[in-house]
Amino acid sequence: MYIYGLANLTGLLPSMYNGYSFGISIARKLDDDIIDGIKDAPTPEYLHHYEEINHLTLSLAETIASDLNMEGIGALAIKPTILTDNRELDEKYPTLRYDISHKMIATRAGLGWIGKTDLFISKKFGARIRLVSILLNTEIIPESKPIDKSRCGSCSVCVEICPVGAATGLLWDIHTDRDVFFNALKCRDKCTEFGRDHLKVDRKICGICVAACPIGRKN
């Protein structure tokens, strides 16, 4: 199941994307049974599902962008989370910051907000989603208002369950840098450990806070 939203990105994108000032954010729901199977560590089923959904959402975004380009609308599909080995990921993105933030586009499209462990929390499915984005060079009218601050309130389930205490418990808003409320490097190191020692693969993977977030749980 998919949800999507339209975003005005004027002034929010790096200069390399000049000409693109609008975007489409697409979220694909993850399988509840697979997510519910995550307890103290990621499962092989979650790793496979995570990578499968990344490929599916990228294929969808590329197809939509291609169709739009054929209609004379400039469109550029932006890949979801990098699918690569740990060494290459660490070399290319040592600070875990990317040129384009799918979460930023999704908040501008009104699909949700950023949670206390830096997850994107969609209004409909909680954290149980994967995001992909398409940039557009044609003006569009967003259907929803951007979301500028967290709606997590006093909930701290993800903060308490994080195995490395990566979150400070502070709430996100558009004026708060990620590093103020979440230590992405601690998270990265634990995800690397889970992939290497628990799943025996060269991947970064966890999902504990995804499964724990009460928003979007089927029960």
- Rounded to an integer, what distance in angstroms lies between the CA atom of residue 2 and that of residue 111? 11
pLDDT tens digit string along 30-58?
999 999 999 999 999 999 999 999 999 99
Give the count of domains, the chain.
Answer: 1
Position 219 confidence tier, pLDDT thresholds 50, 70, 90: very low
In a domain, 98, yes or no: yes
Query: What is the H or E stretch that residue 7 is in?
Result: strand 2-8
CB burial string 17-32: b at 16+ within 10 A, e below: beebbbbbbbbbbbee
Quote the pTM value: 0.90
In the predicted model, is pLDDT for residue 91 greater than 80?
no
120, 106 contact by CB (below 8 A): yes
pLDDT tens digit string along 2-29?
999 999 999 999 999 999 999 999 999 9
In a domain, 42, yes or no: yes
Quote the domain boundaries for residue 155: 2-212
In a domain, 219, yes or no: no
In the predicted model, is pLDDT for residue 84 greater than 50?
no
pLDDT, residue 81, reads: 66
pLDDT tens digit string along 141-167?
998 999 999 999 999 999 999 999 999
In a domain, 217, yes or no: no
In a domain, 59, yes or no: yes
In a domain, 218, yes or no: no
In a domain, 181, yes or no: yes
| DSSP sequence for 66-130 | HHHHHTT--EEEE--S--S-HHHHHHH-TTS--SS-HHHHHHHTTSEEE-TTS-EEETTTBT-EE
